[in-house]
Amino acid sequence: MVSFKELGLVNTREMFAKAIKGGYAIPAFNFNNMEQLQAIIKASAETKSPVILQVSKGARNYANQTLLRYMAQGAVEYAKELGWEHPQICLHLDHGDSFELCKSCVDFGFSSVMIDASSLPYEENIALTKKVVDYAHQFDVTVEAELGVLAGVEDEVASEVSHYTKPEEVVDFATRTGCDSLAISIGTSHGAYKFTPEQCTRDPKTGRLVPPPLAFDVLDAVMEQLPGFPIVLHGSSSVPQEYVDMINKYGGKLPDAVGIPEEQLRKAAKSAVCKINIDSDSRLAFTAAVRKVLAEKPGEFDPRKYCGPARDLMTELYKHKIINVLGSDGKAE
């Protein structure tokens, strides 16, 4: 058993309380490799933003759980080396799908876990979430739960349809499970294709897809039911069109990829939404930079020569999110 406190990590309790009060949101960035982690920490340290490092089940399988844990521990030290005196870094399990996986992460030094039982019937979601909460809280590890189902085609997190969260269920759910935060469904979804062209309109000037607005009425109703309770938004990548264009220009094929417009995320960040999940945008930045280098320099075979630019572009992206979208800069001096 390793406590997250020994690793210099923090749970989400205080982070979220401050974020709701301050009208900003904490970035939750997924990582699978060293370059992503370096970029996240550099961006957070330079902006003094609290940050949540998210590890999915797929990331654990890809990178090895032991290595990931030491990477997170190393991240705290790296942050200090960059001059961030009191780093506020949370290590979070993203979309945990079983009690055993959540327990393993708690035992392994994670400071926060998500139990995503949103695809189960309501009572089963409550029972499983409560079991995870009861275990995690013994070690001061915070727990995110989910009510409502996101649409999406992400591997491991797949659902054909989007079922908005029912505001009339949230008080009962939060009270009976004891969860610390609640992910809700208001029209976001995972991946780089969040809406079909049929769901969008087209900007006549640019020809770009314009997605439908998020269901802010559902968010408002949830906040009315649970005043001051931490709300989480998954599937919140914006799918920056400059990265999509770069990928397509240098041999990729991402037709009509579309995300959540940043102004809608800005609006959400000012509310009780205090954690915003971003993964796909980082994948797009990484891929765009790598494709560019390899297309322009076909003779290049030193991974540092293409992973380095990928890291730089991701750092720029994370800083942009922190400063211009979430407003979390300067909140962890």
Please report, as ranges, the residues that interact with Zn ion according to CB under 5 A: 234
Cα dihedral 236→242→248→249 (10° resolution): -170
Binding residues with ligand 13P: total (CB under 6 A): 14
Task: List, edge to edge, every strand of the sheet that includes 189-190.
Answer: 157-159, 151-154, 189-190
Site residues for ligand G3H, window 266-305 (CB under 6 A)?
279
Please count the other Cβ atoms lying within 10 Å of the Cβ belonging to residue 324.
12
Rounded to a whole number of angstroms, the minimum distance from the CB of residue 195 to ligand 13P is: 12
Biggest CA–CA distance in the chain, Å, is: 60
Cα separation values, 177 from 170, 276, 302, Å: 10, 22, 50
- Residue from 96, 109, 191, 240 touching ligand 13P (CB under 6 A): that is 191
Residues 289-308 that bind ligand 13P (CB under 6 A): none
* One-letter amino acid for residue 300 of the chain: E
Give the other-Cβ count within 10 Å of 52's Cβ.
27
Q: Does 12 bind ligand G3H (CB under 6 A)?
A: no
Binds ligand G3H by CB under 6 A, chosen from 28, 37, 59, 186:
59
| 95 Ramachandran zone, left/alpha/beta (phi>0; psi -120 to 50) | left
Binding flag, residue 30, ligand 13P (CB under 6 A): yes
From the list 9-17, 204-212, 222-230, 273-281, the region that binds ligand 13P by CB under 6 A is 273-281
**Residue 156 interacting entry, from ligand G3H, Zn ion, ligand 13P, none, C-beta within 5 to 8 Å by type:** ligand G3H
Work out how close the CB of 313 gets to ligand 13P at its nearest, in angstroms, rounded to a whole number: 16
CB closer to ligand G3H out of 59 and 223: 59
- Dihedral (C-alpha) 314, 11, 266, 315: value to the nearest 10 degrees? -10
**C-beta of residue 270 within 8 angstroms of C-beta of residue 290:** no
Instruction: Give kind and range of the element (H or E) at residue 144.
Output: strand 142-147
- Which residues are known to be catalytic? 94
Nearer to ligand G3H, 144 or 154 (CB): 154
Q: How far is the CB of 94 from ligand G3H (least distance, A)?
A: 6
- Token digits of residue 14: 């205080």
Characterise 9 by phi-psi region: left (phi > 0), alpha (psi -120 to 50), beta (else).
beta
Q: Which C-beta is closer to ligand G3H: that of 125 or that of 277? A: 277
Q: Does 58 bind ligand G3H (CB under 6 A)?
A: yes
Of these, 12, 30, 162, 165, which contacts ligand G3H (CB under 6 A)?
Answer: 30
Q: Which does 116 bind (CB under 5 to 8 A by kind): ligand G3H, Zn ion, ligand 13P, none?
A: none
Q: Are 186 and 216 in contact (CB under 8 A)?
A: yes
Tell me which of 69, 190, 291, 321 binds ligand 13P, using CB under 6 A.
Answer: 190
Site string for ligand G3H, 218-257 (x = CB under 6 A): ----------------x-----------------------
The verdict on 278 binding ligand 13P (CB under 6 A) reads yes
How many Å is the Cα radius of gyration of the chain? 19
Do residues 94 and 54 touch, judged by C-beta distance below 8 A? yes
130 CB-near residues (< 8 Å, 6+ apart): 176, 177, 178
Binding site for ligand 13P (CB under 6 A): 30, 94-95, 190-191, 234-237, 277-281
Residue ranges binding ligand G3H (CB under 6 A) = 30, 56, 58-59, 94-95, 154-157, 190, 234, 279
